[in-house]
Amino acid sequence: MSDTRAETATELNDPLAIEIANIRKARGLNGALDLPDLVSESWKRCLSDYNLLPDSIPRAEVLSHSELLPILEEREDFLSIADPEIERLFQRLVDSEYLVSLASSQGAMLLFRCDYQYLGELAGTGVIPGSIWTEDRQGTNGIGTCLRVGKSVSVVGSEHYGAATQDLTCLTAPVFGRKGAIECVINVTTARSADIRMNRVVQSIVERAARRIENGHFGRLHRRNLMLRILDNAENSDMAEDGQIAISESGLILEGTSQVARLLKQPVDELIGTSATELFELDTDLSEIRPGTPVMLQHGGKTLRAMLSVPETRRQSAALQTGSARMSPATPWALKTVDLVKEDLRINPVLSQAMDRAQRLLSSGLPVIVTGETGAGKTSFAKAVARHCFGEDTKIVFVDCAALEAHSNLSSLFENRLQGQRSCLIIDRIDEMSEAHQSVLLGLLESDRQAAVNGIGMIVISTQELSELVKENRLRPDLMHRLKGGQIALPPLRNAPDIELTVRDLFRIERELQEKPDLELDDDVSLVLQHYHWPGNLRELRNSLRHAIALSDGKLVRLDQLPQDIVEQIARKDLTARSQSEASKIEAALRYNGGNVSLTARYLGMSRATLYRKIQIQKARAET
């Protein structure tokens, strides 16, 4: 951010600058001349474009849980990349009393990390999960102004336009997506004063985190393309410093990250469509460069160090051709036959009812749609339904739509795999299926309306409602109507009626797999596992158990062998006393939802009044 101050003479002749000076003088400050140019321009927009009164800025709007959940589900793939980086950033800054959040391109806080003891103070300024920060509604603020100007922004204390946020320091950096559009904004906020040097250090850390997320997302978007990674520093392997370029099979540049423009000193738009071989003055064709091996490039008289990576599907195809597998090289890795072994799926009363319903629908020849949060066990549920419905000798053809090659002959592959015996087609991540493959699938469904008679079943797995995919033009309406036989929504683990038995069963399975049949859970560990809110559902529980069992070296799994973040969230007080109620689960869920009682109540599946009553009961018990 530039710290250049506006010229005094110019400011004195500017009516908006005079008005800004008067506002700041009324607040006991030194006028407009102390504002950095970027902040000063934002204040002027607040006055002239948005007509905002600095002392009457409305409190930030907050998305309800029902409004926030579809956004989180829609961005699940992106957030799976961003979330670990936000967590690392928070762990690095938490001791300095910083809140770390990730806001959408509309200014809504989607990811939120804050130490519990500072939540109340920040909530008083409107900084809570789901709150929306745009410049035209909240005035000059870190997130809103970053979205407005498209670059990193620091808004320190009295530089905020609104009176309610005068004590905050906000340091932000944009994360860029396709065609240079802002995908989201990383925001770091503190209510503590910090000197200029400290702010610059933290700002740099935030910017590097933003570039790492951008590079991770770029790699996911272009996983089917050649990728050229330009290394800024041969001695530094930090992903934040690298520029990435996606290249087509014919060697033309498709897209690049924002760091590419800095490294090449040339806008990315000017590179698109040009030959990578010519641009970097290569003597050999890209196909002759060994992937993962450093190569020297020339551009604008400067020597650059880079590495080439090939698409994941190409690597897998090469492995198949050189290995012992008898699959055709043209067969996509995403389409595979799954041995129908018994899945480790705990059947509670709720799940039993869902399974019975799914079997009835599948047996009648209707496709079944399985939805649920990430990690809720959708794939295991689908395989169990297929086994119970069609028998143990059923052949399952599992299709991962995110990994299908664009040129795959899906029709012939389906025909080859689904002939000769009772079969069930399980389609995962249908939101990633291309239009061409959607047409093939629709044709298969339309041409074989006697699927049940012929022994063919179909189960679709999705984290999103199919109707939402249609609204976003990611799924054909006719395919949605053809697939909509019946929907089964799997509940999250936190709402399971018998979580204690679920923990016990999964622990038994995992200890057998690691050949530690005599291992048991310490009582305190059992309490933690039962009262944690499990945002990652069964997958997170299972990974936590694997973690603990792998580290155990005696006859009992101890607290210090559980993942550290789980213990820190739920085991800060005496576990024995806390085990008498839902206090531990409520406290962890409150922290996960940033202290917002309404969001937490919906998250835990209870009314707001019920949650308030439980909190008051625990407070009363703690005081006695």
Buried-state track 228-242, b at ≥16 Cβ within 10 A, e below 16: bbbbeeeeeeebbbb
Q: What percent of the chain has pLDDT over 70?
A: 78
pLDDT higher than 70, residue 525: yes
Which residue, 121, 113, 116, is CA-closest to 93?
A: 113
pLDDT higher than 70, residue 102: yes
Maximum C-alpha span of the chain: 86
Measured distance CA(560)–CA(552) in Å, rounded: 9
Task: Give the pLDDT mean for 219-247.
Answer: 79
Task: Collapse the DSSP code of 339 into the 3-class scheme (helix H, G, I; strand E, B; otherwise coil) and give the result.
Answer: coil
Q: Give the pLDDT score at 341.
A: 43
pLDDT higher than 70, residue 514: yes
More confident residue, 135 or 85: 135
Q: How many residues does the chain have?
A: 624
User: pLDDT per residue over 435-485, tens digit each?
Assistant: 878 887 777 666 554 444 455 788 898 888 888 888 888 888 888 888 877
Q: How far apart are the first and last CA of the chain?
A: 53
Task: Give the pLDDT mean for 538-551.
Answer: 89
User: pLDDT per residue over 367-388, tens digit each?
Assistant: 889 988 888 888 888 888 887 7
pLDDT higher than 80, residue 273: yes
More confident residue, 29 or 58: 58
Give 428's pLDDT tier (boundaries 50, 70, 90).
confident
Cβ(490)–Cβ(372) under 8 Å? yes
CB atoms inside a 10 Å sphere around CB 490: 19
Q: Give the pLDDT score at 257.
A: 94
Q: Give the pLDDT score at 623.
A: 55
Which runs of E-coded beta strand occur in 204-334? 226-231, 243-247, 253-256, 295-299, 302-309
CB atoms inside a 10 Å sphere around CB 169: 23
pLDDT higher than 70, residue 51: yes
Place of tokens 């936590």: 544
Q: Give the pLDDT score at 325.
A: 35
Q: Give the pLDDT score at 328.
A: 36
Q: Give the pLDDT score at 324.
A: 34
Q: Indicate the DSSP class of residue 407.
A: T
Task: Give the pLDDT mean for 210-214.
Answer: 93
Judge residue 65's burial from the number of C-beta atoms within 10 Å of its C-beta, 0-12 exposed, 13-18 middle, 19 or more buried. Answer: middle
Q: Give the pLDDT score at 236.
A: 47
Give 513's pLDDT tier (boundaries 50, 70, 90).
confident
pLDDT higher than 60, residue 5: no
Measured distance CA(108)–CA(131) in Å, rounded: 6
- The per-residue pLDDT of the chain, averaged, comes to 79
Measured distance CA(353)–CA(359) in Å, rounded: 10
Find the range with the poorest average confidence among 520-529, 557-566, 603-612: 603-612
Which residues sit opposite 330 in a β-bridge? none
CB atoms inside a 10 Å sphere around CB 417: 18
Measured distance CA(377)–CA(482) in Å, rounded: 25
Measured distance CA(323)–CA(493) in Å, rounded: 40
Give 233's pLDDT tier (boundaries 50, 70, 90).
low
pLDDT higher than 80, residue 575: no
Q: Phi-psi bin for 317: left (phi > 0), alpha (psi -120 to 50), beta? A: alpha
pLDDT higher than 80, residue 352: no
Measured distance CA(464)–CA(401) in Å, rounded: 14
Q: Give the pLDDT score at 450.
A: 47
Q: How far is CA 205 from CA 80, 241, 324, in A?
A: 20, 12, 47
Measured distance CA(309)–CA(244) in Å, rounded: 10
Which residues sit opposite 184 in a β-bridge? 104, 175
Judge residue 306's burial from the number of C-beta atoms within 10 Å of its C-beta, 0-12 exposed, 13-18 middle, 19 or more buried. Answer: buried
Report the run of H or E that residue 185 belongs to, with start and end.
strand 182-190
Q: Give the pLDDT score at 350.
A: 62
pLDDT higher than 90, residue 406: no
Of 57-71, 370-384, 529-543, 589-603, highest mean pLDDT = 57-71
Question: Which domains, and CATH codes, for the chain?
Answer: 65-210 (3.30.450.40), 222-310 (3.30.450), 328-491 (3.40.50.300), 494-623 (1.10.8.60)
Find the range with the poorest average confidence among 288-302, 396-410, 478-492: 396-410
Of 69-83, 324-338, 608-622, highest mean pLDDT = 69-83
Q: Give the pLDDT score at 320.
A: 37
Task: Collapse the DSSP code of 487 into the 3-class scheme (helix H, G, I; strand E, B; otherwise coil) and give the result.
Answer: strand
Measured distance CA(602)–CA(100) in Å, rounded: 23
User: pLDDT per residue over 150-170, tens digit each?
Assistant: 999 999 999 999 999 999 999
Give 182's pLDDT tier (boundaries 50, 70, 90).
very high
Q: Give the pLDDT score at 619.
A: 63
